[in-house]
C-alpha cells in the first residue's frame, strides 16, 4: 500500500502505468485527491458535473504487485491537466522484480539503472515553461492553439538532469529506458556505435522480460513506452565518450545524454539466450476471439471545447464503451487521427498497416506499447484478466491521451 498526501495547490491523482491494480487504486482521471482547503466545490474545468472522487487530501493506493517482473511507472492523471502536471515532474518509476529474473546472470545492483527520458522547456529564470491557458492549473484546462498537437521541449532531461553525463565501467549495463515525454518520440542510437556488435540488446519491454534477447541498432520509443536493454561498454576504450543520440530530434533535442567510460572492471554478467517463460502470452489465441470492436480516436467538440473522443463521443464517466466478459478474448481495432500515442498494456499486440490489416497479424514483442501512427491501424488481442476481480475494468488495457 502506498499513501499519497496532496500538499500541492491543485488536485492530483496517481496512475500506475502498467500495474495490475484494483479499480479503487487505478488512478482514474476523476478520482482526485483534492488539495487542502478545497473540497467538492473546487472547479473541475469543463467537468464540473462529474464525481470528483474523495474530498480528502490523501489516498491509500493498493498495489498487489502480482504480475510479471517489469518496469512500471506512475504519473499524475488529473482530468484535463495530466500534461502540465507531468511536465512539472509528477512521475516516477515502480520496478517489480521477481525470482525468475533475479536468478539470471544479468547486470545487477549499480549496473541496473532506470533512465527516465523527457523533454522540457525552461523560462529565463529556470522555471518550467508550458503554454497552459491557465498557468496556475486551477480552472481552465488546455494549451494555446499552436500546441494542440502536443507540447515539445528543447532540453532533454534524463532522470531529471539536462543532458546527463554518466560515468560507467567497461562492462555491461542494464538500462530500463522510459520515454516520459508528453509528446516527443525518440529514435535512440549510440554515437559512436560499437564497431563489431549491436549497440542495444533488448531483454524486456513494458510487459517484463522477453523470451529471448533481441538486438537493435536503434531504439524507437514512444511516450510511456519502456525498453529494457543491455549496453556493453567493453566494446569501448577507457576514456571513450558515447552520446545517446535521438535521431528524430533537432537542435538540443538531438542529444539525450552521454556515457563516459572511466574505469576497467571485471565483467560479471552475461546475457542468457533464454530469458523468460512467455507461455502465458502464447495462451492468447486469435482463434479464441469471441468479438471484435472498433475504436477510432479523433478530436470531438464538447460544449465548445475540442477534446479527444472515442468513436465520436467525448469523455464521459457515465458511459461504458466496452464491458468484456472476464477471461474472454477480443480483438480491438484501434485507429487515431490526428497523430497521438495510444498507450495499451496488453498481453499481446500486433501492429499492421492498413494494407495488411486483414491478414493475420505478425505478433510483435509481447507486452509492447504499440506505437500507432495515423496511417496505421493497431490491432490488440486482449483478454480480460482476473487481477481486478471486475470484468468491466479488467481488460488489461489502459488508454492514455495526453496533450
Ligand atoms: Cu500512463
Residue 77 CA to ligand 1 centre (angstroms): 8
Same domain, 87 and 143: no
Whole-angstrom distance, CA of residue 202 vs CA of residue 220: 12
No. of H helices and E strands in the chain? 3, 23
Q: Are strands 58-61 and 2-5 parallel, antiparallel or unpaired?
A: antiparallel
Same domain, 46 and 165: no
Residue 33 CA to ligand 1 centre (angstroms): 17
Confidence grade of residue 39 (pLDDT, cut at 50, 70, 90): low
Owning domain of residue 289: 279-393
Residue 366 CA to ligand 1 centre (angstroms): 18
Give the per-residue pLDDT at 183. 93
Residue 400 CA to ligand 1 centre (angstroms): 5
Same domain, 287 and 235: no
Identify whether 270 is part of a domain: no
- pLDDT at residue 298 above 50? yes
Contact residues for 63 (Cβ-Cβ < 8 A; gap 6+) = 1, 2, 16, 19, 21, 25, 94
Give the per-residue pLDDT at 329. 87
**CATH code at 56?**
2.60.40.420
Cell triple for 97: 522484480
Same domain, 126 and 225: yes
Give the per-residue pLDDT at 379. 53
Same domain, 69 and 113: no
Residue 403 CA to ligand 1 centre (angstroms): 12
Render pLDDT for 148-206 as a digit per residue (tens, 0 to 9): 888 999 999 999 999 999 999 999 999 999 999 999 999 999 999 999 999 999 999 98
- pLDDT at residue 345 above 50? no
Residue 317 CA to ligand 1 centre (angstroms): 18
pTM for the full predicted model:
0.84
What is the DSSP-derived secondary structure letter of residue 194?
Answer: P
What is the average pLDDT across 268-273? 97
Half-sphere exposure of residue 112, counting CA atoms within 13 Å on the CB side? 17
Tell me the pLDDT of the chain averaged across its residues.
82
Residue the block writes with cell 536493454: 229
Cell triple for 16: 500506475
Residue 203 CA to ligand 1 centre (angstroms): 22
Confidence grade of residue 330 (pLDDT, cut at 50, 70, 90): confident
| Bond before 338 cis per omega within 30 degrees | yes
* Helix, strand, coil shares, percent, the chain, to 5: 10, 35, 55
Scored b (16 or more CB within 10 A) or e, 67-85 reads: bbbbbbbbbbbbbbbbbbb
Render pLDDT for 60-94 as a digit per residue (tens, 0 to 9): 999 999 999 999 999 999 999 999 999 999 999 99
Whole-angstrom distance, CA of residue 77 vs CA of residue 74: 9
Residue 99 CA to ligand 1 centre (angstroms): 26
Whole-angstrom distance, CA of residue 380 vs CA of residue 393: 16
Give the per-residue pLDDT at 343. 57
Residue 207 CA to ligand 1 centre (angstroms): 14
Give the per-residue pLDDT at 179. 97
Nearest Cα to 185, choosing from 71, 342, 337, 70? 342
Confidence grade of residue 342 (pLDDT, cut at 50, 70, 90): low
Residue 17 CA to ligand 1 centre (angstroms): 5
Residue 14 CA to ligand 1 centre (angstroms): 10
**CATH code at 299?**
2.60.40
Residue 343 CA to ligand 1 centre (angstroms): 7
Same domain, 21 and 60: yes
Phi and psi at residue 164, to the nearest 5°: -50, 140
- What is the count of structural domains for the chain? 3
Residue 19 CA to ligand 1 centre (angstroms): 10
Identify whether 345 is part of a domain: yes
Render pLDDT for 94-118 as a digit per residue (tens, 0 to 9): 999 999 899 999 999 999 999 999 9
Query: Do 256 and 158 touch, CB atoms closer than 8 A?
Result: yes
Give the lowest-confidence range in 99-113, 261-275, 354-368.
354-368
Same domain, 187 and 60: no
Whole-angstrom distance, CA of residue 65 vs CA of residue 394: 15
Residue 74 CA to ligand 1 centre (angstroms): 7
Amino acid at each position: 500500500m502506498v499513501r499519497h498526501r496532496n500538499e500541492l495547490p491543485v488536485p492530483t491523482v496517481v496512475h500506475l502505468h502498467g500495474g495490475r491494480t484494483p479499480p479503487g487504486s487505478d488512478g482514474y482521471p476523476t478520482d482526485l485527491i483534492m488539495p487542502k482547503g478545497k473540497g467538492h466545490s473546487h472547479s473541475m474545468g469543463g467537468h464540473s458535473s462529474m464525481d470528483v472522487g474523495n474530498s480528502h487530501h490523501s489516498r491509500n493506493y493498493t498495489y498487489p504487485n502480482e504480475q510479471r517482473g517489469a518496469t512500471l511507472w506512475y504519473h499524475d492523471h488529473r482530468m484535463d491537466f495530466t500534461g502540465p502536471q507531468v511536465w512539472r515532474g509528477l512521475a516516477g518509476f515502480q520496478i517489480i522484480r521477481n525470482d525468475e529474473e533475479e536468478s539470471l546472470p544479468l547486470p545487477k545492483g549499480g549496473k541496473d539503472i532506470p533512465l527516465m527520458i523527457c523533454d522540457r522547456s525552461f523560462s529565463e529564470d529556470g522555471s518550467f515553461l508550458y503554454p497552459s491557458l491557465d498557468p496556475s492549473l486551477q480552472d481552465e484546462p488546455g494549451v494555446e492553439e499552436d500546441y494542440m498537437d502536443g507540447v515539445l521541449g528543447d532540453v532533454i532531461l534524463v532522470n531529471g538532469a539536462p543532458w546527463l553525463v554518466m560515468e560507467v565501467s567497461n562492462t555491461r549495463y542494464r538500462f530500463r529506458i522510459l520515454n516520459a515525454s508528453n509528446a516527443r518520440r525518440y529514435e535512440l542510437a549510440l554515437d559512436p556505435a560499437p564497431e563489431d556488435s549491436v549497440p542495444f540488446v533488448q531483454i524486456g519491454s513494458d510487459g517484463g522480460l522477453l523470451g529471448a534477447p533481441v538486438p537493435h541498432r536503434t531504439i524507437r520509443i514512444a511516450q510511456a513506452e519502456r525498453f529494457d536493454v543491455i549496453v556493453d561498454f567493453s566494446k569501448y576504450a577507457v576514456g571513450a565518450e558515447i552520446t545517446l543520440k535521438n535521431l528524430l530530434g533537432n537542435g538540443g533535442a538531438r542529444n539525450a545524454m552521454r556515457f563516459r567510460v572511466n574505469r576497467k572492471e571485471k565483467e560479471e554478467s552475461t546475457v542468457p539466450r533464454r530469458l523468460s517463460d512467455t507461455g502465458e502470452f502464447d495462451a492468447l489465441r486469435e482463434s479464441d476471439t469471441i468479438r471484435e470492436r472498433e475504436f477510432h480516436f479523433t478530436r470531438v467538440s464538447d460544449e465548445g471545447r475540442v477534446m479527444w473522443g472515442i468513436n465520436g463521443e467525448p469523455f464521459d464517466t457515465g458511459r461504458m464503451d466496452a464491458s468484456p466478459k472476464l477471461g474472454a478474448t477480443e480483438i480491438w481495432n484501434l485507429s487515431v487521427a490526428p497523430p497521438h500515442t495510444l498507450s495499451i498494456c496488453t498481453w499481446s499486440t500486433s501492429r499492421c498497416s492498413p494494407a495488411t490489416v486483414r491478414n493475420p497479424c505478425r505478433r510483435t514483442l509481447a507486452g509492447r506499447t504499440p506505437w500507432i501512427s495515423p496511417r496505421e491501424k493497431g490491432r490488440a488481442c486482449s483478454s480480460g484478466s482476473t487481477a481486478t476481480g471486475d470484468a468491466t475494468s479488467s481488460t488489461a488495457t489502459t488508454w492514455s491521451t495526453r496533450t
